Copies of this chain bind each other. A is one copy, B any other.
Amino acid sequence: MIRVAICAPSASLPRELAAEVQHVAASFGDVELTFHDQCFIEQGHFAGSDQQRLDALVECANDANYDAVWFARGGYGSNRIAQDAIARMGPVAQGKIWLGSSDGGYLLGALYKAGIGRSVHAPMPLDIRRDHGADAIGTVLSWLSGDTGQLEPHLDGRPTAAFNLMTLAMLSGTTLMPDLSGHVVMVEEVSEYLYAVDRLFFHVTANLPPSVLGIRLGRVSDIPENDRDFGMTAEEIARHWCDRSGIPFLGTADIGHDAANRIVPFGVTDRNASLGLAGFTLGKPRSWQ
């Protein structure tokens, strides 16, 4: 049995969606989901004040009853609490899997930098709302149940990290930013104009370390219609800035703001190991291994 705590470090989750997610989880006997009440708090843009979101995250992280912490959704805000959260994480947090994407990437990146547990780019509970949303939930639960077929298909044994493009751009240069030297970096984006995608690639390719292994492009979806055509596709943009910066463009990645978003454990993935996480034992602080 894998026990998963769900909290909301960014925006609030509509309460009725928790029941829908639990309904999907009922068919996965090996996984038990617990929604922290903080998920349902609404305060302005956020799922509660910085302090409330921080406290809930730290509580889940340091609770030995849970093997994994799943971020309920993105929406902006986890960057406001990430540094303080890291500082308050105890030994129990070392054995945890962290699941999320989009705005949750601030935490995945910061935890990866700090070497705490295992950061995993994955769909989130809010994705139940999408077309075929149950599939997105099923991707995570099935992977947690041991199905390595849910892993992103291009993972090739080299260190990898996956981010929303805006999140990676904003992480760059901050104290939360992990060292991505020697990594394949996968990026995806949603609801941004193509000129903004171009601007983000300018920034990200200039800020990644020179020894980065390359960039893979996930889906760039729901692009708003502009008053004029940008003149390049998202892939042409990615190729342009990879060429300019000398970073290899490696092709596509099967990630995005959609129900088909696949699992990307940060670091090295071993497809023959449980969850693809070679050398990582659920619920065991690293110091115990």
A-to-B contact residues, CB < 8 Å: 42-46, 76-77, 79-80, 166, 169-170, 172-175, 194-195, 198-200, 202-203, 206-207, 226, 228-232
User: Do B199 and A44 have beta carbons less than 8 Å apart?
Assistant: no
Which residues of B have CB within 8 Å of A203?
Answer: 169-170, 172-174
User: Do A195 and B229 have beta carbons less than 8 Å apart?
Assistant: no
User: Do A175 and B206 have beta carbons less than 8 Å apart?
Assistant: yes
Nearest chain B residue, comparing its CB with the CB of A79 = B202
User: Do A80 and B172 have beta carbons less than 8 Å apart?
Assistant: no
User: Do B170 and A79 have beta carbons less than 8 Å apart?
Assistant: no
Nearest chain B residue, comparing its CB with the CB of A228 = B45
Question: Which of A45, A76, A231, A232 neighbours the largest number of chain B CB atoms within 10 Å of its CB?
Answer: A45
Which residues of B have CB within 8 Å of A200?
Answer: 170
Given contacts A79-B199, A79-B202, A199-B79, contact A230 B173 (CB under 8 A): no
Which residues of B have CB within 8 Å of A202?
Answer: 79-80, 170, 174
Supplied contacts A45-B229, A170-B203, A174-B203, 19 more A-B pairs, CB within 8 Å: A44-B228, A44-B229, A45-B194, A45-B226, A45-B230, A45-B231, A76-B195, A76-B198, A77-B195, A80-B198, A80-B202, A169-B169, A169-B170, A170-B199, A170-B200, A173-B173, A173-B203, A174-B207, A175-B206
